[in-house]
Structure 1
Amino acid sequence: MAQPPPTLSLTARCIVEIDGQDDVIAFAIGPERAVYVLQALGPHGRGQPPPAYPVRAWLDGQCTLDLRFESPTCLLYALQPLGADLLFLGVPLGPDRRSAGNGRVYSREGRPLRELHLGDGIEHVQTTLKGAIWTAYFDEGVFGDDPVSQHGLAAWDADGECVYRFHPDLAGLDHICDCYALNVADDRETWLYYYTAFPLVLLRGRRVARYWNVPVAGAHAFAARGEHALFTGGYREHDRLTLLRLDDAAQCAILARFQACDDDGAPLPAERFHGRADTLYFLSERRIWAIDLDQALAALR
């Protein structure tokens, strides 16, 4: 009988400490690897926007953005850089909510620029250096009435024009029912992982290039590069990480499992994850931590 893969401690790098007590609504990693944090100043409940949203960004440990702005007509829940501007996702409020766009573009001074209609039921959003917007959808969007959301994954230009809709055009791939994880590595490579069979799919130039049958069900983020991927835990092991070797014939091999720890070896309970290219980022105790594939592979030696 084959032995189970080892479970190892893997030390994460703390890259941001979030000051203050404002609620963290979302954090994100931009294509330039900057860390963006969206917070709520005051109550942030269903149908009730806070008085203001603090937004900050850090790159290489330096704060590059620090502003507060109001958005009384939209309940914000996600953000990404969009060229020189900022893109937010939100739930429109008020009497015009049915016709309002769920994408809001602001200048970095907090000035509203335009609204975008990016499909219903967005689960993930990531942008590229050239200004492409990738959106992935959960099941309410996929099985809803919006014709773009029904594809489970789409790409848009910076003005909100849809330029790509996912089609599973390789034998063995099914349609997306719920896109659990998205990783836009750069302007050429996009990775996704979705329900029901949970394949890991690599798009190159917006075409399916390869896919693998992943032995992890229910993960919500991953890092990927070349022949390896690092997945967050699935349904039962939220904080456990799994390192995979991506083999031929759509198969994967589990190389190791990891528990993320701080410098003192204490386990880090992850609240939220985000995958960008070869690195996993996660929020724990008002700090954002990072683990990349090179760290995971080095731990095997």
Structure 2
Amino acid sequence: MRRQLLSRIGQAALVLWAAFTVSFLLLQALPGDAVLIRFLGGDLGLSPEQIAELRVLYGADAPLWEQYLVTLGGFLTGNFGYSVISGTPVATEILTNLPPTLWLAGLSLAAATVLAAIIALAASLSGSGALKTTLESLPSLMISVPVFWLGIVMIQVFSFQLGWVSVINPGPWEQLVLPVIAIAVPISAPLAQILLRNIEAVSRQPFIHVARAKGATRVQVLLRHSLGNAVLPSLTVAGLLFGELIAGAVITETVFGLNGLGRLAERSVRFQDTAVLQAIVVISALAFLLINLTVDLLYPLLDPRLRRPDPKGALA
């Protein structure tokens, strides 16, 4: 187990370094830089000499290799630099906007998991008629719905027409209702598909036939025997989806006007604030890697079949 953990941490470190390097090179390849975009106009009344001093201050005039080493060293020590747009440390911007995105992603994944479980259980218990066919086809329909379109429709219907949820000065929890539903609907589709497929595969195993022969009802077999074995393969997909929710919050937060990492990324793209964008890319990659590392480590704990005894008799 220890060797596997060290191996996975080493692989995660390499992936994180690759994400940093690729994002750095891509951001540096953009025409111009954030200092020129922010200060070159005449609105601020800065002279060319003052703009040149600002470029030196932000390191925008240094050679590419020097900028790379300075930026990499800063990331390794927790110093992400300063935002050209706000003038505040990038770490402060991230710490301010990350919690709302985490809340949105966590609640959306929880709602998607519940919705996927309801669809999978209902389809498994509905027999083999038209209802089962309809429930099994729901995930294909749900996954094809764009989040931004669903969000706009929900705002029009539930906020402007029915008035159930306010989108103008909503409360801290009220503002999450529609975004969570809009994200949960398409996200629940792959979870439901995998649960349905795994439940069907488990139902053909010999121990299921033994349980039925002992007089267990369909509900008892599903809840006590099938569901536990079918959930495990869904953990990997759930981890991938959560990582995507954190990294892909731009559309949702923009549609619903939420402050979070997505809105910060959208603003940084507009003004080419490369320091903030670099930090968002690396932190999103780090969150993605940590979630999947946690899922990989949970597998042996949840499934004893994956535990390997080492030569001394201990679990590896």
TM-score, with normalisation over the residues of structure 1? Answer: 0.20
Quick one: higher RCO (CA 8 Å, sep 6+), 1 or 2? 2
Instruction: Give the number of the structure whose residues are more often strand, by fraction.
Output: 1
TM-score, with normalisation over the residues of structure 2? Answer: 0.19
